[in-house]
């Protein structure tokens, strides 16, 4: 019984969702593990989507000059398996993405 409880504690705890960032000052060479802070953003939305797992969030910073000119396809494997683990892609608070 103790082994069963330990199994559930180790493998059934919820995984914390991550938040990743994209900006026109970013760099696609930044590792996904570091794009969760403002100074290490990805450059393209497509690269940011590549970091996502079910339940994660991608925040896209607005464009002071220029626009994002890419076609973005989000694979079903990245979109979540239910509304409880939905993946979110959105503009940064108070910013406009074009």
Structure confidence at residue 45 (pLDDT): 93
pTM for this entry:
0.76
As a whole number of angstroms, the distance between CA 49 and CA 41 comes to 12
The answer to whether the beta carbons of residues 55 and 87 sit under 8 Å apart is yes
Instruction: Give the confidence band of 65 by pLDDT, cuts at 50, 70, 90.
Output: low
Tell me the three state secondary structure of residue 3: helix
Q: φ, ψ for residue 27 (rounded to 5)?
A: -145, 125
Percent of the chain with pLDDT over 70: 79
Closest among 26, 27, 74 to 53, alpha carbons compared:
74
Alpha-carbon separation of residue 48 from 9, 25, 73, 83 (angstroms):
31, 13, 11, 21
């Amino acid at each position: 019984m103790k082994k069963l409880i330990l199994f559930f504690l180790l493998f059934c705890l919820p995984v914390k969702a991550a938040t990743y960032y994209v900006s026109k000052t970013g760099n696609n060479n930044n590792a996904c593990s570091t794009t969760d802070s403002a100074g290490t953003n990805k450059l393209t939305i497509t690269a940011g989507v590549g970091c996502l797992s079910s339940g994660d969030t991608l925040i896209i910073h607005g464009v002071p000059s220029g626009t994002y000119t890419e076609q973005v396809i989000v694979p079903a494997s990245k979109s979540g398996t239910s509304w409880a683990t939905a993946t979110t892609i959105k503009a940064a608070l108070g910013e406009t993405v074009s």
